[in-house]
Chains A and B, each alone.
Chain A
Amino acid sequence: MTTATHTTKNLPATAESDSKSQPRPFVNPYLGGLFMGVVLFLSFFLTGNGLGASGGLNRLIIWAIDLVAPEHVDRVSYLIHYAGGDKNAMDHWIVLMTVGILLGGLISGLVGRRVKAETVRGPRITDHQRWLFALIGGVIAGFGARMARGCTSGQGLSGGATLSVGSWAFLLCFFVGGYALAYFVRKLWT
Chain B
Amino acid sequence: MGPFALNEIVGKFGTYLIYLLIGMGFGASLEMVGFGRSTKLTAQFYLRDMTVFKVMFSAVLVAMVLIFGAAGLGLLDYDRIWVPPTYLVPGMLGGLLLGVGFIIGGFCPGTSVASLATLKKDALFFLMGILGGIVLFGETSGYFDHFWESTYLGRLTLPDLLGLPTGITVFLVTVMGVFALWGAEQIERAMRQKDGLEVKQISRWVSAGAGVLLMGGLAVMLIGQPTADQRWQRVAAEKQPMLDNREVQIHPAELRDVFFNSLVNLVMLDVRDEADYNLFHIKDAERVPLDQLEGLAKDLKAGPPGTIVVLMSNDETRATEGWKTLVGQGVANTYILEGGLNNFIAMCSESPFASIPGGDETLRYELDAALGHNHPTSNLREHGKEIEFTPKVKIEKQAPTGGGGCG
Hey, which bits of chain A sit against chain B, CB under 8 A?
1-2, 4-7, 26-30, 32-62, 65, 76-79, 92-109, 112, 114-122, 127, 130-182, 185-186, 188-190
* Residue with the highest number of chain A CB atoms closer than 10 Å, among B2, B36, B87, B102: B102
Q: Mark B369-407, 1 if CB is under 8 A from A, else 0.
A: 000000000000000000000000000000011111111
Would you list which residues of chain B between 124 and 150 have a CB under 8 Å from chain A?
A: 125-139, 141-142, 145, 148
Give the chain A neighbours of B198 by CB distance below 8 A.
4
B407 touches A118 (CB 8 A): no
* Residue with the highest number of chain A CB atoms closer than 10 Å, among B33, B66, B166, B200: B33
Q: Quick one: closest B residue to A39, CB to CB?
A: B25
Shortest Cβ distance from A128 into chain B, in angstroms?
A: 10
Q: Is B98 an interface residue (CB 8 A)?
A: yes
Q: Quick one: closest B residue to A32, CB to CB?
A: B33
Partner of A46 from the list B6, B30, B49 (CB cut-off 8 Å) is B6
| Interchain Cβ contacts under 8 Å between A and B, 13 examples | A29-B50, A33-B58, A49-B3, A101-B26, A108-B31, A118-B120, A136-B129, A138-B132, A154-B404, A163-B83, A164-B85, A165-B88, A182-B103
Bound CA span A116–B98, Å = 27
A117 touches B139 (CB 8 A): no
Shortest Cβ distance from A97 into chain B, in angstroms?
A: 4
B125 touches A135 (CB 8 A): yes
Give the chain B neighbours of A107 by CB distance below 8 A.
24, 28
Give the chain B neighbours of A172 by CB distance below 8 A.
92, 95
DSSP class of A's interface residues: helix, strand, loop or mixed? helix
Q: Quick one: closest A residue to B49, CB to CB?
A: A2
B402 touches A58 (CB 8 A): no
**Number of chain B interface residues as a range:** 35 or more
Listed stretches B11-19, B264-272, B308-316; interface member: B11-19
Hey, which bits of chain B sit against chain A, CB under 8 A?
2-4, 6, 15-34, 36-40, 42-46, 48-51, 53-64, 66-67, 70, 75-76, 78, 80-88, 90-123, 125-139, 141-142, 145, 148, 153, 155-161, 166, 169-170, 173, 197-198, 200, 203, 206, 209, 400-407
Bound CA span A165–B288, Å = 27
A169 touches B27 (CB 8 A): no
Instruction: Given the known inter-chain contacts A32-B33, A39-B25, please indicate yes or no for A96 contacting B161, CB distance below 8 A.
Output: no
B31 touches A134 (CB 8 A): no
Q: Quick one: closest A residue to B122, CB to CB?
A: A134
Give the chain B neighbours of A155 by CB distance below 8 A.
84, 91, 94-95, 404-405
B29 touches A30 (CB 8 A): no
B157 touches A47 (CB 8 A): no
Shortest Cβ distance from A19 into chain B, in angstroms?
A: 19
A104 touches B131 (CB 8 A): no
Shortest Cβ distance from B399 into chain A, in angstroms?
A: 10
Give the chain A neighbours of B400 by CB distance below 8 A.
48
Instruction: Given the known inter-chain contacts A116-B119, A182-B46, please indicate yes or no for A37 contacting B28, CB distance below 8 A.
Output: no
B100 touches A140 (CB 8 A): yes
Q: Quick one: closest A residue to B157, CB to CB?
A: A163
Instruction: Given the known inter-chain contacts A109-B36, A177-B100, A181-B99, please indicate yes or no for A161 contacting B67, CB distance below 8 A.
Output: yes
Instruction: Given the known inter-chain contacts A101-B110, A137-B105, A150-B84, please indicate yes or no for A52 contacting B406, CB distance below 8 A.
Output: yes
Give the chain A neighbours of B4 by CB distance below 8 A.
46-48
Instruction: Given the known inter-chain contacts A38-B62, A115-B119, please indicate yes or no for A159 contacting B105, CB distance below 8 A.
Output: no
Q: Which are the 8 A-B pairs with shortest beta-carbon distances?
A: A154-B405, A137-B105, A138-B129, A100-B23, A177-B99, A148-B94, A142-B133, A52-B405
B57 touches A112 (CB 8 A): no
Partner of A55 from the list B44, B170, B403 (CB cut-off 8 Å) is B403
